């Protein structure tokens, strides 16, 4: 499957994950979107990739490398190219793990990321 398709699925997965995560916080409904946006943006996802990088398998590292090097025709409005490419790689990894039904691994990686996040 093309990297861009994996990233498309991973973006949807992580957006839903982030929205569900902020529902468990002590916020008013108007603040949910603001909290979710702090997680679902190129800069944050680039940092998330940096956090999980030491725990990635060789296969996951290869996927990340391919995703970062994939040419995309779109650009981020609010992020630099490096953050955009790393966030695409993060999303592609999530998309790959989701489509291969590796929910246990997704949970491990997202728990690692969220253990350092304050919502």
Alpha helices in the chain (DSSP H): 3-23, 29-39, 42-52, 58-69, 81-99, 103-114
Residue 69 token pair: 């090097």
Kindly provide the b/e burial profile for residues 89-98, where b requires at least 16 CB atoms within 10 angstroms of the residue's own CB.
bbbbbbbbbb
3-class secondary structure, 51: helix
- The residues carrying an active-site annotation are 11
């Amino acid at each position: 499957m093309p990297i861009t398709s994996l990233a498309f699925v991973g973006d949807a997965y992580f957006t839903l994950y982030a929205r569900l995560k902020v529902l468990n916080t002590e916020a008013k409904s108007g603040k949910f979107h603001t909290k979710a946006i702090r997680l679902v943006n190129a800069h944050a996802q680039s940092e998330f990739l940096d956090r999980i990088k030491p725990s990635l398998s060789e296969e996951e590292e290869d996927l990340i490398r391919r995703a970062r090097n994939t040419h995309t025709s779109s650009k981020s409005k609010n992020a630099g190219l490096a953050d955009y490419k790393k966030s695409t790689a993060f999303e592609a990894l999530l998309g790959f793990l989701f489509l291969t039904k590796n929910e246990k691994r997704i949970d491990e990686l997202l728990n690692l990321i969220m253990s350092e996040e304050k919502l």
